[in-house]
Structure 1
Amino acid sequence: MKSGATWMNAESLNLSTSSGATSAYVTRPHEPVSAAVILIQEYWGINEHIRDLAGRYAKEGYLCIAPDLYRGRVAADSKEASALMQALPIEDGMEIIRKAMDATEETYQIKNFAITGYCMGGT
């Protein structure tokens, strides 16, 4: 990928799962891309830091999609973050990630994926 690409926009992609609706935060560069990075959130949720990281991937030339595992909730403090993380069934989280990949392939014609995460999403 071309380093230093400019990203065109950030948008929301709606996802439907067996446990209900959620969304994913998407950033993409101006140039057509053939690969996407799935960015798994920290235990805080899809906050400003995750949106910033998604923008950085787009600036490097990748479509970046951050599935919202908490369905719109963002923790205000570590106690709430811990409770949200503990309440997330692993099967639900995995389904949301799979649905995000499916929607990315269908919406953006992307077939090549990498996945990364931080905190809850990486350890």
Structure 2
Amino acid sequence: MGETITLEASDGHRLGAYLAQPEGMSKAGIVVIQEIFGVNSHIRSVCDRLAAEGYLAIAPAIFDRQQPGFESGYSEAEVATARKFLGSLDWDAFLRDTRAAAELVKDRGLPIGIVGFCLGGSIAYLAATRLDLFSAAVAFYGGRIADFADEAPSCPTLMHFGEKDGSIPMADVEAIRKKRPDCTIHVYPAGHGFNCDERASYDAESAALAWRRTLDWFDRTLAG
């Protein structure tokens, strides 16, 4: 359903992106931000599922600045390799690459949403606070959102967390709730990465409910 394209960020950096489009007219566009595993089969699947719901979906390869074309699976060795990117997080660069994807949607005259997973969840939240482009945002288990929770999103923002997530303490989730009563937060009886059916932590029931809530959120805020 999708294709690989090239985007250009404001600083001239060129990066890959996966673009999935619906068969008919797009009702809105959604920027999809990857986990640390790159724009892999899971992220492409998310884009394809959004396209099937009538949304143009685009996932920028935000690690292209460090390693062009990087993607991986979820074996122990692959996870260890992917985690190396966490040692040098350039949030401003992530936002430039996110903006490049959003500008493609904007140029097509569509309202823009953003959804991110894991690291991408934190970037989606930060983009909702610092980029005046989005009409809605959704963050799945963003581990650094607590660090940025003093910054207010400029659009309706939904967050999903797992109560069994070993990398995001529930104390962080409660801190976010306290600082951001303007956001909607759901907690599920699941662990980190529960939305990804390629991971051992996949929780089908929680994933289905979070996905339905995500689609309802975008339908209401972008396509309503």
- TM-score class, shorter: 0.7 to 0.9
Contact 1:54 1:64 in 2 (8 A): yes
Q: Could you say which structure has the larger radius of gyration?
A: 2
Change (3 A) 1:23 1:102: same
CA distance in 2, matches of 1:48, 1:42: 11
Q: What is the deviation of 1:120?
A: 1.1
1:4 matched to which residue of 2? none
Match of 2:37 among 44, 67, 71: 44
Change (3 A) 1:86 1:110: farther
CA distance in 2, matches of 1:87, 1:28: 33
- RMSD across aligned C-alpha pairs, in angstroms? 1.6
Residue 62 (1) aligns with residue 55 (2) = yes
Contact 1:19 1:92 in 2 (8 A): no
Letter in 2 for 1:83: K
CA distance in 1, matches of 2:50, 2:61: 17
Change (3 A) 1:45 1:85: farther
1:100 matched to which residue of 2? 101
Q: What is the deviation of 1:105?
A: 2.5
User: Structure 2 unaligned runs (5+)?
Assistant: 122-141, 143-224
Q: What is the deviation of 1:15?
A: 1.2
Which of structures 1 and 2 has the larger relative contact order (alpha carbons within 8 angstroms, sep 6+)?
Answer: 1
Identify which range, 38-47 or 86-95, moves more after superposition. 86-95
Q: What is the deviation of 1:74?
A: 1.6
Written as runs of structure 1 = structure 2, the 5 A alignment for 1:6-85 is 9-17=1-9, 18=11, 20-71=13-64, 72-75=69-72, 77-85=78-86
Count the aligned residue pairs: 113
4+ aligned runs moved over 4 Å, structure 1: none
